[in-house]
Structure formats: structure tokens, C-alpha cells
Amino acid sequence: MRIADPLQDSCAGAATRDCRHGLATNGCEDCKVRLFSVCAALEAPELEELDRISQAREVPARTTLFEQSALAGSVFNVTEGVVRLYKSLPDGRRQIVGFALPGDFLGLALQDRYGVTAEAVTAVAVCRFARPAFLAYVDDKPHLLRRLHEFAGHELSLAQEQMLLLGRRTAEEKIAAFLLNMQARYARIGTVSVTVPLPMSRQDIADYLGLTIETVSRTLTRLAREKAVLIVPDGVRLLDLERLKLAGAS
Amino acid sequence: MRIADPLQDSCAGAATRDCRHGLATNGCEDCKVRLFSVCAALEAPELEELDRISQAREVPARTTLFEQSALAGSVFNVTEGVVRLYKSLPDGRRQIVGFALPGDFLGLALQDRYGVTAEAVTAVAVCRFARPAFLAYVDDKPHLLRRLHEFAGHELSLAQEQMLLLGRRTAEEKIAAFLLNMQARYARIGTVSVTVPLPMSRQDIADYLGLTIETVSRTLTRLAREKAVLIVPDGVRLLDLERLKLAGAS
DNA sequence: TGAGGGCATTGATTTGCATCAATGCCGGGG
DNA sequence: CCCCGGCATTGATGCAAATCAATGCCCTCA
């Protein structure tokens, strides 16, 4: 099966990264570069152990990786594709709390149950760790623990930023912030381009920003009409960054 | 100075808790019970070291403990009172991302800058740790690191729940969920009562739930009119829990 | 090739909450 | 005692975004 590659756009040459477990940036045969990985320096014996407890897995779009309130049996590192994380209300209302891109960890909260559901938006490749093995591996490595903790802290910061967005920003500000944020995230994993890939549906974007599909669509077309963006297949080209930053600034 | 005590309400006898640093539940002279503290078992020598790097502090209402994007120099544990944590937009819009009650930690994200501003809502007592000392103390104690990490994971879960609330719930659902949540939190620190203390202003509640003061006020009076709650000075008495849970359930 | 389903766009209309505005309550200070 | 300022409540009105509804554009598949 061919894996959809969100990195391919305008970055074909440099996009050949396939770190299997996302935990190292050096010493690992499989790893090229992963700037935002959890641990920047693991030694060879540790890496071998890591390889033993990790398991690469590829799944097609719309696959559920784990479900909210299920027993948290695995920790995942996304290596290819996009995953949506969401919570649902009994009546079907949905809030996407984040999109995981290559390099992101899932289930790191280290609680006994998952707090969200994780679904592949595109075809996805992940590296799976059995939780007990992962915990055992991590437990006597303070530098790794520290790093994981910082990672969690960063996640929390992002969540708080998203609360500000959901609670206090207008539709246009939400869209602008979302586009700029996606561009920044793709840039970090190697896709530097004014064209931001948007592999998720309008419904996903709406459920992430606390809007409806119609409002997302209208706001995007308005931004396009005003020459702030250009809507292209599966993405958006950012034209007037100043205009967007004006709306989306933190 | 007399410290305002959110625990006093209907719990006068059991409310004599004054854990100075919030990091232990046994072996510590100063500690009575702190069920949700970070570490349930620290040994005597470790506690002495902890005491050396901690510093009790009492501040009046409206004091700023730290400001968004300031260098994170301290970690705090709240021992008395209520603290609001918020982010602001340049034009003054504000989103409160959480209220810290006794036992809660502030600045645990372990990033070099604070992501939010922390202000005392009531008079507040905190235990302050210098960050470098705290990090040094914690660094070679894997069990503590683990516990801190779990703590951060829990925070993240709460943040995600709040995103669902901000993005997808109606005004009435937001208020109901808020009241039930506050009751649960006070119950955990010893105040078991149908009367939930609300030491923060309507503006604070509005900024927490992504509403306006007027909507908060109207929704509360509607709930009161419908006999779901009874509004009392500095708080709300919950009358019809079923009705509230119907609206506020996760 | 054309029926049918999924998704996005666009328009018309409604509505939940915000905004604007007035009043009331209370506590502190002269 | 009364004035004042801060906060909460309540009512009238406005508006941004939701809802309802129609259309179009791919796809896929028979």
C-alpha cells in the first residue's frame, strides 16, 4: 500500500524521512532528521532496546487508532500522514482537540485511559509502543522522562492557546490562526511552502475551530476574494501573510 | 493578615489543612491530608531538602503571581484561596484557562516562559519553589518525575474537556458543567456541600466559559427560576443535580 | 454514460448570544 | 448619612454565526 505523504508537496527531495519510532535524532539507522523528537541523544544499546519494543504500522484513512475512554494500551508516534484527535458529546457534536502530524506523539498523557479518540485523516504510518514496555523503558531514564514532560507541557500550552481561540476569537481570526499554524507546523517538518496542505475535510476544520462547515467555507472564500489566500486542491496558498497575522496573532 | 478560606463553608472541623508545599501526604510535619498531591510517599531526608527549597507566601486578592511570557522562575503550589490563569488578546479580550484551587500546581509545564498569567482571585497562600532548585530536586527522583508527568497529563485532559465545552456546548450547558465541576473540585479538597462557593466574579466566569457577564447572569437566574439552583451570596446551591447533569454531562 | 453519494459552495433565514443601556444593590469613605 | 464606584441583574436591540435549503462538482461504480 502506498502511504499518502503530506510532506511531498514542493519538498520532494528533502522529504525522505522515515524515522520509525520518533525517539532519536542520531545513532539510529532508520532516522534522518526529526527536529522536534522527544530525545535528541539516545545511545546505541538504548536504541536497540527501543527497536525491540516498537512496531511500525500502516493504516488507511478513517482508521481508528484508539477510542476515548478505552484502556490506554499503546503509545504512538506518527511518522506519516495526519491523525485527528477528538472528543464527542452523546448527541454527536464533536470537538477536534488537535491534528497530529508526523513526529507527534499520541497517548503520552500516561493515564490509564485515553482521553480522546484518534482517527487517521489520511493514510497513516505510526510507530506503536506497548504501554507497559514503554513505561518500563522510560522509567529509569531521567533525561527521557524530562523530555517527555517538557513535551506534555508544550501540548498543554497549545491546548491553552486553543482555548483562547475557541472562547474569544471570531470566525475569521480562527481561520487565519489555523492556516498560519498549519503552515508553521508543516514548515517544522520540512515542508516550507506558501501552499499549506489541508488534508482534512471542511467538517474537520469546523469541528476543530468550533464553527460549522458553512462558516468555514464562507470565511475561506471571503479571504480568497480579498486576496489574502488562494484556494487550491487539498490546500490553501497564503498570499497576504500580514493580513492573516493581523487576524490570527496571539 | 487573615487568609480567606474557600474551605471554611460547612466544613469547619475538617478544614484544618495547611500542607506547606503540597508534595507529600505522609512523613511531613506540616501536612495533614492532600489527596491529589503530586507524591504520596517521600522519605524524611527528601522532605527536609524539599523544605529547604520551598518558601511559603501569602498574598492579597488581585495580586499577580506571574505573567504570561515572563521567564518562568518559580513553581507554585496553591495552599489557600483561588487563582485564575488566563491568556489575553492585545485588544483586551481574555480567556481564563483555569482556576487553581488549594493543592493545584502552577508553572509545572517546565517551559522556560510562563504560558499564562496567574492572578489571585481571593487572598491566596502559596508555596513557592525556585525553578532551578525544584528541577534539581526532582531530576534524580524518577517516581516524582513520573508523578509530575501524570499530573501534566491530567491537566491536558482537563484542557481538552474545556475545549469541547468552549467549542461545542451551549451557554446553559457551559454553566451547568462549570457548577458541577466546581462542586466536584471542592468536594475533593474537603468541602462536601450542595452549596458551591463561587469566589470569582461573573466576569471571571464569563471569561472562563467564553460568554459575557450578561449571559452568565441570565442563565443563572433562569436556572434559579426553574429550581435547578439557588443563588446565594458568593456561591450557588445546587438543587436539581439531574437537571444540571443532563446539561453538563461529558 | 449516467445514476448516486460525498463534499463544498452559496444563498435565505433564523437564532443564540453579544451589545447597548438602564436600574438596583451594597459596601466604603467623607 | 449620603454619595460614589464596582458589580450584578434585567430589558431592548443588533449581529455573527447557525440552520435550512439548493446547487454544483467530482468521484466511483454499475
Per cent of chain B over pLDDT 70 is 81
Q: Do A48 and A144 have their domain in common?
A: yes
pLDDT at B193: 86
pLDDT at B17: 39
Pairing mode of beta strands B117-120, B83-88: antiparallel
pLDDT in tens, B104-114: 999 988 789 99
**Given pLDDT bands bounded at 50, 70 and 90, which one contains residue A15?**
very low
Q: Do A125 and A52 have their domain in common?
A: yes
Give the span between the Cα atoms of A228 and A114, in whole angstroms: 39
pLDDT at A88: 97
Give the span between the Cα atoms of B182 and B8, in whole angstroms: 15
pLDDT in tens, B201-246: 999 999 999 999 999 999 999 999 999 999 999 999 999 999 999 9
Q: Do B195 and B150 have their domain in common?
A: no
Q: Do B186 and B139 have their domain in common?
A: no
What ipTM, to 2 d.p.? 0.89
Proximity of residue B171 CB to strand C below 7 A: yes
CATH number at residue B78: 2.60.120.10
pLDDT in tens, B2-25: 222 333 333 333 333 344 565 554
pLDDT at A4: 28
**pLDDT for A111 beyond 90:** no
Quickly list DSSP for B97-147: EEEE-TT-EESTT--SB-SSEEEESS-EEEEEEEHHHHHHHHHT-HHHHHH
Q: CB under 8 Å to A13, separation ≥6 — which residues?
A: none
Q: What is the mean pLDDT of chain A?
A: 84
Q: Do B216 and B156 have their domain in common?
A: no
Q: Alpha helices, DSSP H only, in chain A?
A: 44-53, 131-139, 142-168, 171-188, 202-209, 213-225, 241-248
Total domains in chain A come to 2
- Residue B162 touches chain A, beta carbons under 8 Å: yes
Q: What is the mean pLDDT of chain B?
A: 84
pLDDT at A51: 80
pLDDT in tens, B29-53: 343 233 334 444 455 666 777 778 8
Quickly list DSSP for B36-86: T-S-S---HHHHHHHHHHEEEEEE-TT-EEE-TTSB--EEEEEEES-EEEE
Q: Do A60 and A123 have their domain in common?
A: yes
Is the residue at B33 inside a domain?
A: no
Contact A126, A54 (CB under 8 A): no
pLDDT at B63: 96
Contact B75, B50 (CB under 8 A): no
pLDDT at A144: 83
Q: Do B87 and A164 touch (CB under 8 A)?
A: yes
Give the span between the Cα atoms of B56 and B62, in whole angstroms: 18
SS3 per residue for A188-232: HCCCCCCEEECCCCHHHHHHHHCCCHHHHHHHHHHHHHCCCEEEE
Is the residue at A2 inside a domain?
A: no
**pLDDT for A42 beyond 90:** no
Q: Which domain holds residue B77?
A: 44-166
Q: Do A50 and A100 have their domain in common?
A: yes
Measured CA B194 to C1' D1 distance, in angstroms: 40
Proximity of residue B166 CB to strand C below 7 A: no
Give the span between the Cα atoms of A49 and A60, in whole angstroms: 28
Calculate how close chain B gets to A221, using CA atoms only, in Å.
22
CATH number at residue A197: 1.10.10.10
Helix (H, G, I), strand (E, B) or coil at A35: coil
pLDDT in tens, A183-209: 999 999 888 888 999 999 999 999 999
| One-letter identity of residue B96 | I
Residues 87-146 of A with CB under 8 A from B: 87, 89-90, 93-95, 97, 108-111, 115-116, 139-140, 142, 145-146
